[in-house]
Each structure stands twice: as C-alpha cells, then as structure tokens.
Structure 1
Amino acid sequence: MGLVVLVVVLRSRIFKLGLLLALLGLVLIVMPLRQQVLPALAARSEQKELKEQLHHIFTTRAQSLVNGNYEGLKAYYDTTVTSGLFALNHEIGRIKYVREWVKERQVIVSGSQMDLAIIDAGSEEGKGWASVSQHIILNYHHQGEPEKTINQMGVRTIHWVELVKRDGQWLIARDWYWDPFEADNLDPDITPGTARCSREVAPPPPGKYRRQAAVSYADRYSGVRLGPGDGRYNQAYRDFTGLGGDCANFVSQVLSDKNAGAIPRDWVWNYHNGNGSQAWVQAEALVHYLLDSGLAVRIMRGNFEEVTRTSTTYPQGAVNALQPGDIIAYEEKGEISHVSVVVGRDSAGYLLVNSHTADRARVPWDMGWDRRTIYWLLQVVY
C-alpha cells in the first residue's frame, strides 16, 4: 500500500512539474510574441489615426477654399517650425486668392466635391509622413445667371506631407505640392474685370489640326477626375513633373498624338523612348518652336487688361478669338513658365483651359494668375 501511495504522489508531482514546465514554455513563447504584436498593433492604430486626421484636414481645407473662411486652419499646423508656418500661410494665401479672384471676375462658387487618396503613409515616434492625391471639383456660376446654372472646374494636387504629434494630435509640419492656385503672398493682386464672351465667336481657321480630338485628349488625360475615364496621365508618355514640370509635355501630346491633334513631329520637336526634346518638354522652347515653325501665330502678348480689351480687330477681346485646341502661355518675370490648352467655354462664354503641373481641368484661363502675369495667345494654324 505504501508503495502504491508513493507512486501516486510521484506521478502527481511529475504531472505538476510537467504542467509547470509547459506553462513556463508557453510564457516564453507568448512574451516575445507580445513584445512584437503590441507595438505592431499600436503602430497600426497610430497610422489609422494619422490617416483619419489627414482626411479631416484636407476636407476642412477644401471647405475653406469654397467659403473663404480660414480662421480655424491654424489648429492643424505646427507653427513652431518655419516649414509648418509656411504651409499654413500658403494655404491661407490660396484661399484669399480664390476669394479675390471670384470677386473680381463676378463668379459665385456654389459647392465642391473632393476625392482624396492617401497613397502611402507611415509614422514613428511621434513623426509621420504621407503621400496624398487630392481632386477638388468646384461648382460655380457667374453673377446674373440663374442659381441652378452649374459649371464645374477641377484641380488635382499631389502632396508630400510631414506631420508631428503634439498633445495627442497630428499637425502638419510640412506640405509640398504644385498648386493650381499658387499665391506668392497673403495679399493677392488681381486685375479687376471679367472676360465673358457671347457664344457667337468666329470659327477656327481651316486646317489639318484635329481640334476636337485634341480637346477630347486634353480632357481625358488632364489628371483631374472630372468625369468618367478621367484622372490619369497617358501612361504611354513619361511624367516630367519631378524634372521641372509636365505642362509642355502635356501640350505637346495634345498637339501631336495620333489620337489627339495629330500634328507631325520633327527632329526639333519630338518624343522618343521616354525622352522629349527641349521644344517638347520646356514651356518657353515649345512656344518659340510653334511660332518659328509656323504651326501657330501669336494673336497678342499682354496682361489681363490688354488681352481682354475690346477693339476693332477683336470686338470681344483678343483672348476670345482663341478656339478649342489653341494655346495660352504664361510669362512671369520675363520668362514663359507655363502653357495650357484651350478646351472650351463655360455658360457665360468664359474661356477654359486644361494643363499639367499643376493639374487643371476646364478651369477659367486666368485663374491662378495675377496682375503681373503676361499672357501669350497662340492660335494653331496647321
């Protein structure tokens, strides 16, 4: 009997020891996992919080662009660093610019839609970063038109955002992007007046240039999600945005692609194997090539007041002699820095353009520019 009891006791102790060793092994397995899982979960939660804050900030900024109220924006920026203060002032400047432009052009912005895509984002130790693509569509009509009249203009911006977490909230410390409503300062200087036009305008000059195909191409590949199939660049061409800008590359495509204007290229103005010639990719070189080659003529070069002034030659202003498929170039400080393509008119006959860098779709031709801008009006005559 004593032997039996001893065996039972030993088995019990062995069982308990085995159980204890099993539990110890489980702890040794779980603890490293816990050390890996918990930080991962915390990081995932922080990234989710970061993305939610980005959506909130960009939504608020889009609303401010429409209503002109920027008073609450400071709460979303780290103004203790120069780059954060600059980002805030830039946003205030563009809101002031849009507000001033619509006042001078007698335009009423009635609403907006926003499409936001956070392409990539991350955070570590209270610092975050994100790559963000934002499409904004503004609904508008001109003063004197029925309120039910709706025109739409669209812009797309690609942002590189750096953030910092202070007092439990993510704040913008840096925001870099090409801005269609660029403002040099907080006091926009816009020439008063408007450039409305009657719907009766002279027909385009006869030629081989496929104007309607050029406009369709410009609408499809503007980069702005304004309608079905829009919102991309043509992947058959390289994007030169990070190499000085893509505006001339886009206009060159509109003029020459076989599915667009179909103007023949030559060795001076050409694109091959992912590379474009200087006349293809650089705005000023493209303008001078079009003029020197005889593919286009310059109707006028002047500021807003000059190109909209009525005359015997241009009863509705020189700018309104342009036709869909024609080109407007923008000169700043003596240099042509941008080109866009005319794509049509809005309900009041105001000329609309598309461009890359920054991306615009059916935006009034002078929106984003100020009193100092000199406009080159080019009519394609091929």
Structure 2
Amino acid sequence: MKKGFLTALVAGAVLASAGTAGSASAAVTTPADLVKATLADRSAALQDGNSVALDAHYLASASKLKAHEQQRVQKLRKQLQDTWPGKIISITSTPKVASTDVTGNSATVKAYDEMEIVWIPTQDAYTETIVAKGPNGEITSKFGTWHDVALANVGGKWLITSDSYDEGPGLTKSPDFVAPKSSTLDSYEPQALTPGTQPQTLYTWTYNHQAAANYADAYWSSYNGSYKNFNPVGGDCANFVSQSLRAGGQPDDGSWYYRNAGGSTADDAWTYAWVNNQGLRDWARNTSRGITYSDYSQLMVGDIVNYDWDWNGTYDHVTIVVQAGANALIDSHNNDRYHVPYNYSSSQGMSFTHLYTWP
C-alpha cells in the first residue's frame, strides 16, 4: 500500500495537477481569485510535496499561518501514506466562494473547499461493489471544509493575512481558528428511556441500509433544509446520521425524533438522541434497534461508527458506513466527508453499531 501511494506521488498526473494550480495563481485579480488559487495550490502540494509556492499567497506577517500550511502538507501526506487503502491518482480542490466583502485595502472571503481524492483500492481492499467506481476501478473521496479568510491589498496585490478553518480531529486546525464560544448541544441532557416511549408498532418497520447510505451520499455537503444545521452550536454529525437512519426506514420514537413544525426550522423540536452522537449510540443499543461490536471487518452499509478522539471514554463524533468491509468508507457532517475510509484519522477509539434490518 505504501509503495503504491509513493508511486502515485511521482506519476505524471502529479505534475499536471500542480501546473493547473500554478496557472490559476497567475490569473489572480480579486480576493476571491486568490482564495480559490490558494486552496487549489494546497491540494496540489499534498500530491507533489512541493509546498514552497504556497508562501507567495500570504502576507509576510502571517508567519504562523505560513508555517502551519507547510507543516500541514507534510503531516497529511504522511497520514495518507500510512492509512489510505490504495493508490492515489490525483488530489484536487473545487473551491466555492460563498461571500466576499471588500472595504478599501481589506477584504474577507468565506469559501468552502471541496478536496477530492481519486484513488484505486488495493486488490483485496473490498469484497463488495456497492460504491460506484470509475472505468478503471477508481473511487472518489471528498473532504469539505469552510474557510474564513482575511486579506490585505499591498502594492496592488491581494495577500492572505489570516485563514480560520478546522479540518477536524486527526487532520489540522489553523492557528487562526477560533472555536464557538458556547455549544447549545452541551446543554441537552441525556433522556432516560421510560416504558411507553417505544411505539408498539415498531415491529412493522424495515431498515433499508442502502437507502440510508444513499441519503448520506445525497446530503453530505448539500445540507437538507428541512432540518436545522447544528454546526454553529456544537456539531451536525449526529443530526446527519439520524436523518440517514430515518431515510432508511428507522421510525421515530419517544426518545429519538425530529419534528419540523412548519416551513422554518426555528421552532423545530428534537431529542438528545437525535443530535448527540453518544446519545444516538446509546439509543440504538437501549431500544434494541442495533448492537455494538468491535470487529471493524464486519462493518456493513448503514451501520454507524462512533469516535473517541481523546480516549477518555466519551464519544465525540459519529459517521455512517456507505461501503462495507475491513476498509469501510463513511460519510459525515462536521466535518463533511464523502466516501472516506472510516479510519481517516490515525488516533481515535472507535465503536461500531450494527442497525438491524427489522426488529
């Protein structure tokens, strides 16, 4: 696996990718242009290892950010080499600018970076063929990250002064990132399951694992407007997985539900188990909707994976499996992931929960 990855790093496709990013940099005329060129160059550097060109996008005084970007390239290249289950063909970015505000020689840009990794799995990586592949057997994985960028115009040239982003545990967080001051999700207390909270009609439901995965694929980056986005208040991971389970046929009950009262999400109601990753895991186990297990080779489509980032016994994140097997792929929110290996971070405790097809 490591040999295959390194072979891909020196392939001709690497030079082509880096050249494309360089052309974009040469055409920079606006703050948005610079941000898009920078994000493209960051991905090119992950593939060819040449991060020197990145420095030209930043103001000299942004020394901590410049150093971080250099270190990020080396860290993520090593992480891909150590954990990715196949040969990487290309790493590219599709930056999407959400807003730009220019005031004199200062500007701010809010952009969403969709980094795409095209790769061919090792021959024994997958025994099932659920995930769509390209003509040569390639798989496309995607990482989505929001960037809040500040820029200054110096001598007629726009340069980045700060870039606030968090790629998620196991990846990197910029030195400019400021976490939300409070999390309203933390204020939700676990709800004890009491007799009568589980409708007796549960015995009529069927969980379609593939339908749950299809929903996750459809909404991994384009959030469903029928539900509140919990990213600003603590994280949307459990909300996203709960939506996927519901799309697969899991019926609401008294301890796990989301109720949309009308056209707006402002007056919606939800339970702790719906929006909290630990609560979701406990709900699945305590209501006999599923069973936890520890053998990653048994991961099935529509199962969920909980992560304990700091090994303190409390789970911090949850994802949904969209490709079965020992090298399972997952989708998630916060951070946004599409068809990414379930162990994309090299240092976390994990718990797997299989959702039953029927009671």
Matching residue of 2:220: 222
Amino acid at match of 2:81: K
The answer to whether the aligner puts 1:358 opposite 2:335 as a matched pair is yes
The question of whether the paired residues in 2 share the 8 Å contact of 1:102 and 1:108 is answered with no
SS of the residue aligned with 1:285?
Answer: helix
- SS state at 1:213 partner: helix
Q: Secondary structure at the match of 2:316?
A: strand
Describe how 1:319-330 pairs up with structure 2 within 5 A.
319-330=296-307
Q: Which residue of 2 aligns with 1:91?
A: 69
Aligned to 1:375: 350
Stretches of structure 1 that go unaligned for 5 or more consecutive residues are 1-46, 187-206, 224-231, 301-317
Deviation per CA, 1:108-134: give whole Å up to 9, x if none. 321134322212112223211011122
Q: Is the 8 A contact 1:238 1:275 kept in 2?
A: no
Counterpart residue identity of residue 86, structure 2: V
Aligned: 1:234 with 2:224? yes
Partner of 1:101: 79
Q: Quote how far apart the aligned CAs of 1:345 are.
A: 4.9
Shift of the alpha carbon at 1:173? 2.0
- Pairwise CA distance, 1:185: 9.9
Q: 2:258 aligns with which of 251, 268, 271?
A: 271
After TM superposition, the structure 1 = structure 2 runs for residues 278-297 of structure 1, keeping only pairs within 5 Å, are 278-297=272-291
Q: Identity across aligned pairs (percent)?
A: 25
User: Relative to 1, partners in 2 of residues 1:284 and 1:290: Cα closer, same or farther, differing over 3 Å?
Assistant: same
How well do the aligned residues superpose, as a CA RMSD in angstroms? 2.6
Task: Please say if 1:331 is aligned against 2:308.
Answer: yes
Counterpart in the other structure of 1:168: 156
Amino acid at match of 2:251: P
Q: Distance in 2 between matches of 1:240 and 1:185?
A: 22
Which residues in structure 2 correspond to 1:252-267 (within 5 Å)?
252-256=242-246, 260-267=247-254
| Aligned mates of 1:328, 1:92 — CA distance in 2 | 31
Alignment of 1:130-209 (within 5 A): 130-142=109-121, 148-180=136-168, 182-183=171-172, 208-209=206-207
Note the alpha carbon deviations across 1:189-210, whole angstroms, 9 max, x for none. Answer: xxxxxxxxxxxxxxxxxx8211
| Aligned residue in 2 for 1:50 | 31
Q: CA deviation at 1:144?
A: 6.7
Tell me the CA shift for residue 167 of structure 1.
4.0
1:185–1:220: structure 2 CA closer, same or farther, 3 Å change rule? closer
Q: Secondary structure at the match of 2:52?
A: coil
Q: Distance in 1 between matches of 2:148 and 2:280?
A: 29
Change in Cα spacing, 1:85 to 1:355, as seen in structure 2 (3 Å) is: farther
Q: Of the candidates 83, 102, 105, which is equivalent to residue 126 of structure 1?
A: 105
Question: 1:119 touches 1:131 (CA, 8 Å); kept in 2?
Answer: yes
Contact 1:283 1:339 in 2 (8 A): yes
2:350 partner amino acid: Y
Distance across 2 between alignment mates of 1:295 and 1:90: 44
Does the residue aligned with 2:100 lie in a helix, a strand or coil?
strand
Residue 336 of structure 1 aligns to a residue whose secondary structure is coil
What per-residue deviation string (whole Å, max 9, x for no partner) do you get for residues 149-206 of structure 1? Answer: 42210122222111123343322222223415623799xxxxxxxxxxxxxxxxxxxx
Q: Secondary structure at the match of 1:100?
A: helix
Retained in 1: the 8 A contact 2:164–2:174?
A: no
Q: Distance in 2 between matches of 1:107 and 1:95?
A: 19
Residue identity in the other structure for 1:59: A
List runs of 5+ in structure 2 lacking aligned partners. 1-27, 125-134, 176-204, 261-267
Q: Residues 211, 144 of structure 1: CA spacing in aligned structure 2 closer, same or farther, 3 A cutoff?
A: closer
Q: 1:67: Cα distance to partner?
A: 2.3
Confirm or deny that 1:65 pairs with 2:55: no
Q: Is the 8 A contact 1:66 1:112 kept in 2?
A: yes
Compare CA radii of gyration and give the structure with the larger one: 1
Q: Are 1:249 and 1:280, in contact at CA under 8 Å, matched by a contact in 2?
A: yes
Report the CA distance between 1:72 and its aligned residue.
Answer: 2.5
Q: How many residues align?
A: 280
Once the two structures are TM-superposed, the CA of residue 98 in structure 1 deviates from its matched residue by: 2.7
Rounded Cα–Cα distance in structure 2 between residues aligned with 1:151 and 1:173? 36
